[in-house]
Amino acid sequence: MTLARTAAAFAPLDTLAADLLPHVMDDAGDGSHDLSHLLRVWNNACRLQKEEGGDVRILLAAVLLHDCVRVEKNSPLRSQASALSAQRAREILRDLRWDEAAIEAVAHAVQAHSYSAQVTPQSVEAKIVQDADRLDAIGMIGVARCFYVAGRMGSALYEPLDPQAQARPLEDGRYALDHFPAKLLRLAEGFQTACGARLAGERQARMRDFLTGFLAEL
């Protein structure tokens, strides 16, 4: 796919997308953080922006650059990933001659998007980016991404003798099913915008339905 065709998916900000996409097109073979993820997060952000407001230029830059430094889920540097991406975003935008206020707005949104970083978003754009990214981690897309990442990391589907961790601690680094109570089922509680919280509730309900069916088959 050509850069122009890819950038067109972000119209009417396709010119800005064309400037930024070359910095994020190498996904290192991670299908959970690839172009399709960026498009979904952007679509989520656009839906939120219609209700919550915010500068779409800041939003697009933050969405495209929020994972511009790749850190694997099982890396000891995982909690620093968003800070590293924020710093890289500053460098990219300075090269494009953005003004410092806009650069810092994007960098804050990038750093605050991460669950593991535990940075509270202060701006409407940062709140939207955090919510847009977390919406992609729950619902049926979230289910698919969870099992994809588990397979990529070499994890098992579930612990065979105690799949619901009733008599053992959760180990979501070893079992995909453990990641639902350990993190995914908690995400809907922390949404920053009213629109995001509403959409999160709908997606969490679908995720719980999946888990009910999955456990019934065990």
Alpha carbons within 13 A on the beta-carbon side of 69:
21
For the chain, 218 residues long, the average pLDDT of each consecutive 10-residue run is 88 94 82 90 97 97 92 68 92 96 97 85 96 96 95 95 97 96 93 97 97 96
Query: What confidence score (pLDDT) does residue 78 get?
Result: 66
DSSP state of 121: P
Beta bridge partners of 156: 175
DSSP state of 118: T
User: CA 143 to CA 123: how far, in whole Å?
Assistant: 29
Closest CA relative to residue 135, chosen from 153, 113, 150, 117: 113
Both tokens of 158, joined, read: 């579930």
Query: What confidence score (pLDDT) does residue 75 get?
Result: 64
Q: Is 153 helix (H, G, I), strand (E, B) or coil?
A: helix
154 sits in the region (left: phi over 0; alpha: psi -120 to 50; else beta) called left
Alpha carbon of 11 to those of 109, 123, 151: distances in Å? Answer: 21, 24, 34
Give the global pTM.
0.92
User: CA 4 to CA 29: how far, in whole Å?
Assistant: 22
Sorted by where each starts, the structural domains of the chain and their CATH numbers stand as 1-120 (1.10.3210.50), 137-218 (1.10.3210.50)
Query: What confidence score (pLDDT) does residue 29 get?
Result: 79
User: CA 51 to CA 206: how far, in whole Å?
Assistant: 23
